[in-house]
Chain A
Amino acid sequence: MESKLAKQIRIWITIVAGAFILIFSGLGFGAKFIELIHTFTGESDGVFAITPMVNYLLATMGFFCMLIWATLNGMFNDVEGPKQTMLERDEMLDAK
């Protein structure tokens, strides 16, 4: 059984890592997005940038919708639950 301290460490690492990724990447992406708007409106290169950007948006938009759908459906209410269920099910499958 996981000790209370170990549990807290795990939760904190998850939160810090998540925040770290979100804040720094968010800043990077935000800056690039503003740059895109400037490039698109001000430079001949701008139109060129469209193809990879549209590809990116297509690839990630679906996932963004899925993230929202999963959150609204309570998929992340018990974030650690599935790791136990998975192990239990697998053991039962072998036991049958």
Chain B
Amino acid sequence: MTSSKTVQTDIPRHEDIVDERLVRWFFYASLVYMGISMLGGLLMAAQLVHWYPIQNIEFLSAGRWRMIHTNAVAYGFIANAFLGMLHWVVPRLTLHRVASVWLSYFIFFAWQVIVLSTAGGIIFGPAFQSQDWVMEAARNLHISMNLGAQGLEWGETPFWIDPVALLGLALVAFNFLVPISKAKGSLYVTLWYFMAAFVWTFLTYAMGNFLPEYALAGSSAGAVGGLFIHDLVGLFVTPLGWGLMYYLVPIILKKPIWSHGLSLVGFWGLAFFYPLQGIHHFLYTPIPMFLQYGAVISTIAVEFVVATVVINFFGTIWGDSRMAFKNLPIRWFYTGIVYYFITCFQCALQVTLTFQKLIHFTDWVVGHAHLVMFGVFSQWIFGMMTYLIPRLLKKDWYSNRLCEWHYWCSAVGVFVMFLDLTLAGLFQGYYWAALQPWEVGLNGSQPFWITRIFAGLAMFFGFLCFVYNLVMTMRKGESNATATATA
């Protein structure tokens, strides 16, 4: 272990290792995509209750907005926000700057081009599809030239962007693995999670976007698609999210994580058990039962792993629980942790074949998806921004009350949405199991879908409060920034 004395002499200046401007840029970009995604979600929700406001414009049809909604969140909001955080956390943990700051700037612009081209492909791709020159090229090059969305859930990035995105991921991995490799002493758990995420995201993206497109067909492609969807959440978003939590919670609470040993148990458990469970999305499909049961078993193994992580975070805040009320970033984080526990508890039910019989293809799954993507990871990101923005701008928040509005609208809004869709899913499952006509299920879903719009509007309102607060904070005069926002 490196002693604190040696550390003290080696310690660089924060300004020399962290490029704060880059962190800010990534945050701003991520917020733009979040706004677009929420708008897309609201439009899609409106379509389901026959209130779709943009009629008869093919480019802006609801189906395309749905894909914009999910892609803007995953690759626009979450990826940008995490990249911003990584530029803050990795140098501070390793005491080394990224491999190249120029590369970081290149990655910033390249990533925006990738996300925007994905949106362009989704919206305009199908219109180009039928052009003569495209058909001609497809014939000559013997490729599908499917310019619009790729037919793979979460992998809708059109096929021509995939190689560029993969290259982008390789550059990201290189840029951060260099400082991690220079870190002295035993690695802190956050860095283990980050290293894993860089390798996994690259592999997962390659597997999901290339194998079903070029090498596999039928249920084999379906099985890999299942792995891809789940691995994207579990091997890209989860390790980065937990890695950041393991860094930020101790920093803000000013006390170490309860058990570093337990956190390593959680990390290695995730490493070995997570990659097999994707097929649990496809229970009852033609995929051989052998693989379906395998996915069930590894999902149960991951449940144990998750329990260790949650125990560790509650062990850490033990004795300081009032911080969860007083300190807003900590409140965001622990709300997310509680929601995470709920989603994992849901998983324990969902993964049984008995339960799947009822909820498969219903809105239960959509409720689950919102709780995990918004309730957990987006709320963590908002907590990170609430904590870091005053430090980045060297100013206190313009309004702490608006920060509170953001928190309450988001935390309550998403929970209402989750409960509402969970119930909707159960109703739909029973309608279908009773072999009711399809319209009966649709009509029965309407009250739930209307409620979802209002929950979504609350979340959107909270988000607008945050953006307004940010703009006003940027515009207000200099003041002394406190390290922790609204502490």
B4–A88 CB distance below 8 A = yes
B483–A82 CB distance below 8 A = no
B305 to chain A, nearest CB (A): 6
Q: How large is the interface on A (under 10, 10 to 19, 20 to 34, 35 or more residues)?
A: 35 or more
B1–A78 CB distance below 8 A = yes
A28–B297 CB distance below 8 A = yes
Q: A24-B304, A82-B185 known; A67 and B259 CB under 8 Å?
A: no
- Residues 8 to 31 of chain A near chain B (Cβ within 8 Å): 10-11, 13-14, 17-18, 20-21, 24-25, 28-29
Number of interface residues of B (CB under 8 A): 72
Q: A13-B262, A14-B262, A81-B186 known; A96 and B7 CB under 8 Å?
A: no
Q: A21-B304, A48-B288, A52-B291 known; A59 and B265 CB under 8 Å?
A: no
Majority DSSP secondary structure for residues of A touching B:
helix
Instruction: Confirm or deny: B170 has a beta carbon within 8 angstroms of a beta carbon on chain A.
Output: no
Q: A55-B227, A81-B186 known; A17 and B308 CB under 8 Å?
A: yes
A56 to chain B, nearest CB (A): 5
- Residues of chain A within 8 A (CB-CB) of B293 are 32
Q: A10-B315, A67-B268, A89-B11 known; A84 and B223 CB under 8 Å?
A: no
B300–A94 CB distance below 8 A = no
Give the contacting residue for A35; candidates B199, B275, B290; CB below 8 A.
B290
B186–A75 CB distance below 8 A = yes
B288–A62 CB distance below 8 A = no
Given contacts A21-B308, A25-B269, A70-B187, 14 further A-B contacts (CB under 8 A): A13-B259, A14-B261, A21-B301, A21-B304, A25-B298, A39-B288, A66-B195, A67-B271, A79-B261, A87-B251, A87-B255, A88-B7, A93-B11, A94-B14
A45–B308 CB distance below 8 A = no
B301–A24 CB distance below 8 A = yes
Q: How far is the CA of A85 from the CA of B224 in the complex (A)?
A: 41
A81–B1 CB distance below 8 A = yes
Contact with B along A48-68 (1 / 0, CB 8 A): 110110011011101110110
B185–A85 CB distance below 8 A = yes
Q: How far is the CA of A76 from the CA of B247 in the complex (A)?
A: 19
- Residues of chain B within 8 A (CB-CB) of A85 are 1-2, 4, 7, 185, 188
A50 to chain B, nearest CB (A): 9
- Residues of chain B within 8 A (CB-CB) of A90 are 92, 251
Q: 18 A-B Cβ contacts within 8 A?
A: A24-B304, A25-B301, A29-B297, A52-B227, A56-B276, A63-B271, A66-B195, A75-B186, A81-B186, A82-B185, A82-B187, A86-B256, A87-B254, A87-B256, A89-B92, A89-B93, A90-B92, A96-B11
| Residue of A with least CB distance to B220 | A51
Q: How many A-B residue pairs have CB under 8 A?
A: 171
B236 to chain A, nearest CB (A): 12
A17–B262 CB distance below 8 A = yes
| Residue of B with least CB distance to A89 | B7
User: For B186, B276, B288, B291, which residue has the most chain A Cβ atoms within 10 angstroms?
Assistant: B186
- Residues of chain A within 8 A (CB-CB) of B483 are 94
B477 to chain A, nearest CB (A): 24
Contact with A along B282-297 (1 / 0, CB 8 A): 0000001011011001
Q: A14-B261, A24-B304 known; A92 and B8 CB under 8 Å?
A: yes
Q: A60-B271, A88-B7 known; A48 and B300 CB under 8 Å?
A: no
Q: How far is the CA of A62 from the CA of B257 in the complex (A)?
A: 27
- Residues of chain B within 8 A (CB-CB) of A21 are 265, 269, 301, 304-305, 308
Q: A60-B271, A90-B251 known; A49 and B199 CB under 8 Å?
A: no
Q: How far is the CA of A45 from the CA of B287 in the complex (A)?
A: 9
Contact with A along B86-107 (1 / 0, CB 8 A): 0000001101000000000000
Q: How far is the CA of A93 from the CA of B93 in the complex (A)?
A: 10
Instruction: Confirm or deny: B273 has a beta carbon within 8 angstroms of a beta carbon on chain A.
Output: yes
- Residues of chain B within 8 A (CB-CB) of A35 are 290
A74 to chain B, nearest CB (A): 8
B311–A13 CB distance below 8 A = yes
- Residues of chain A within 8 A (CB-CB) of B120 are none
A14–B207 CB distance below 8 A = no
- Residues of chain A within 8 A (CB-CB) of B8 are 92
A93–B14 CB distance below 8 A = yes
